[in-house]
A = this chain, B = another copy of it.
Amino acid sequence: MARGENGAVRVALLGCGTVGTEVVRLITDQAADLTARVGTPVELVGVAVRRPHRHPWLTENFPHLVTTDAGALVARDDVDVVVEVIGGIEPVRGWLLEALKAGKSVVTANKALLAEDGPALAEAADASGADLYYEAAVAGAIPLLRPLRESLAGDRITRVAGIVNGTSNFILSAMASDGTSYADALEEATRLGYAEADPSADVDGYDAASKAAILATLAFHTRITASDVHREGMRGVSSADVAAARRLGCTIKLLAICERVTDERPDGTAAASVSARVYPAMVPDAHPLARVDGAFNAVFVEAEAAGQLMFYGQGAGGAPTASAVLGDLVAVARNRVGGGRGPRESAYASLPVRPIGDVPTRYHVDLEVADREGVLAAIAGEFARQGVSIAAVRQTGGVNGSVDRSDGSGLSPARLTVVTHSAREAALSATVAALADLDHVIGVVGVLRVEGLGRAVSALGMGE
């Protein structure tokens, strides 16, 4: 609990990119406010960057703070709190573990590290009594982790689901609004700075999966890592999928879904498990998530007593993310002054992870089929054989339809769209494999999940 001579809480900042720059700006511009809110000054004592020449604003205005040796900065005796906005696993992990072991509190926005090795950080914090805060790691400025781990700490959370990656949402919004192709929308996102040169973290769902792991860990008091999260990216979403969604009255979103699932055991007791998954899915247009456009994030939380809650705001960007970092910084600084501690890791429930094969959802299956008698019966039979119940079927093209092509086989192809009732992923996959082998089926054009997302939809007059 040592602090500076004037009682200041002394902060080391690791990284000074878009977010770090805003952190420096907020700490310095709001010095008087922060002092009043914390009860003592909050003082920046060092900023570690790899290549100082890339940070002219920092090196001009705060030359005395700049260092290239992050490890040495973390180890300094006059550092009370380490704020990390570099990202990535190594070498950051070592620095944060060192800081926590030395009793220094850590504020980090590092979703990848938390999702891979959060328990090690939490244990180091618990061992020394230091604080570990990371509101900025999920959904940028939106206060989401503090509500989950504090406001809802007396309730049972059953679901956390939403849009937590702004880049993929920007791309999907562009595809939905003007029929842009995935490639063109990605190019636009890159041009505007939303997507990185290598967009994999965003479009392949790694970023969202890390966030899902963090959310599920907090919501269900169970350690969930990124590798526990079923992950499907959005590269495969085509303009045809977007159009098919629109015909259904839906919009495709890349969703992160964390659920507490309870099964009745044969003996009447209940077995709970956790499902955490990320994939593109159709969302009914009537659901508020369907209207979350561009780089915004929105997350629904359901709890037994609280019912359904929604949180909405900017999920990324320098200033919004810095706002979340500063909120955490004020909290850990207040704890330094008051001698308290933030909530520790809560992982007592240790629920098992449910395999994706056992997770039920509705599906939209697009088939190209031969337009001849018996095709529907054959296909419906295949669904029935796997125990997948069909909610709706629609045929377009063929003799009376609009598809105008032929493969020379003498059969005119038609398009058959099937929407299922809730089915387990394993059963649906088996159905799709069997359909592909049917004589009547020319090809399985697309398979997408349809997520009703529970009560919000019911409230809007649509059953799940």
A residues with a Cβ closer than 8 A to B are: 22, 26, 30, 33-34, 36-37, 135, 141-143, 146-147, 150-156, 221, 288, 303-314, 317, 319-320, 322-331, 334-335, 338-341, 343, 346, 348-349
The chain B residue with its CB closest to the CB of A38 is B153
Contact A143 B36 (CB under 8 A): no
Contact B153 A331 (CB under 8 A): yes
Contact A154 B26 (CB under 8 A): yes
A342 to B288, alpha carbons, bound, how many Å?
34
**Given contact pairs A154-B330, A334-B343, a sample of 6 additional A-B residue pairs in the complex whose CB atoms are under 8 Å apart:** A143-B147, A150-B331, A153-B327, A154-B327, A309-B312, A338-B340
Contact A141 B309 (CB under 8 A): yes
A141 to B155, alpha carbons, bound, how many Å?
10
A320 to B302, alpha carbons, bound, how many Å?
11
Least distance between A385 CB and chain B CB atoms (Å) = 42
Q: List residues of chain B with CB within 8 A of the CB of A330.
A: 150, 153-154
Least distance between A139 CB and chain B CB atoms (Å) = 10
Interface CB pairs A-B, < 8 A, 5 = A33-B221, A146-B147, A150-B330, A305-B320, A340-B341
With contact pairs A305-B320, A310-B312 given, residues A326 and B26 touching in the complex (Cβ less than 8 Å)? no
A132 to B430, alpha carbons, bound, how many Å?
56
Q: List residues of chain B with CB within 8 A of the CB of A37.
A: 153-154, 221, 346, 348
Q: List residues of chain B with CB within 8 A of the CB of A303.
A: 141, 323
- Contact partner of A306 (CB less than 8 A), chosen from B30, B305, B320, is B320
Contact A314 B307 (CB under 8 A): yes
Contact B326 A305 (CB under 8 A): yes
- Contact partner of A152 (CB less than 8 A), chosen from B153, B306, B323, B329, is B323
Q: List residues of chain B with CB within 8 A of the CB of A147.
A: 143, 146-147
- Contact partner of A36 (CB less than 8 A), chosen from B146, B151, B221, B331, is B221
A20 to B309, alpha carbons, bound, how many Å?
21
Of A152, A317, A323, A343, most buried by chain B (CB within 10 Å of CB) is A323
With contact pairs A221-B36, A326-B153 given, residues A141 and B305 touching in the complex (Cβ less than 8 Å)? yes
Q: Give how many copies assemble into the complex.
A: 2
Q: List residues of chain B with CB within 8 A of the CB of A309.
A: 141-143, 311-313
The chain B residue with its CB closest to the CB of A23 is B154
Q: List residues of chain B with CB within 8 A of the CB of A324.
A: 151, 306
A221 to B441, alpha carbons, bound, how many Å?
67
Q: List residues of chain B with CB within 8 A of the CB of A335.
A: 340
Contact A154 B305 (CB under 8 A): no
Q: List residues of chain B with CB within 8 A of the CB of A329.
A: 154
Q: List residues of chain B with CB within 8 A of the CB of A331.
A: 150, 153
Q: List residues of chain B with CB within 8 A of the CB of A36.
A: 221, 346, 348-349
The chain B residue with its CB closest to the CB of A34 is B154
Q: List residues of chain B with CB within 8 A of the CB of A317.
A: 307
A245 to B324, alpha carbons, bound, how many Å?
38
With contact pairs A151-B135, A323-B155 given, residues A306 and B312 touching in the complex (Cβ less than 8 Å)? no
Least distance between A218 CB and chain B CB atoms (Å) = 11
A22 to B305, alpha carbons, bound, how many Å?
9
Least distance between A247 CB and chain B CB atoms (Å) = 24
Contact A146 B150 (CB under 8 A): yes
Contact B323 A154 (CB under 8 A): yes
Contact B319 A313 (CB under 8 A): no
A325 to B311, alpha carbons, bound, how many Å?
20
A186 to B221, alpha carbons, bound, how many Å?
43
Least distance between A302 CB and chain B CB atoms (Å) = 10
A155 to B135, alpha carbons, bound, how many Å?
14
Least distance between A424 CB and chain B CB atoms (Å) = 29
The chain B residue with its CB closest to the CB of A291 is B288
A283 to B303, alpha carbons, bound, how many Å?
30
The chain B residue with its CB closest to the CB of A330 is B153
The chain B residue with its CB closest to the CB of A334 is B343
The chain B residue with its CB closest to the CB of A153 is B330
A314 to B302, alpha carbons, bound, how many Å?
11
A304 to B147, alpha carbons, bound, how many Å?
21
A304 to B317, alpha carbons, bound, how many Å?
13
A349 to B338, alpha carbons, bound, how many Å?
21
Q: List residues of chain B with CB within 8 A of the CB of A310.
A: 310-313
A330 to B317, alpha carbons, bound, how many Å?
33
A324 to B346, alpha carbons, bound, how many Å?
19
A146 to B143, alpha carbons, bound, how many Å?
9
A141 to B304, alpha carbons, bound, how many Å?
11
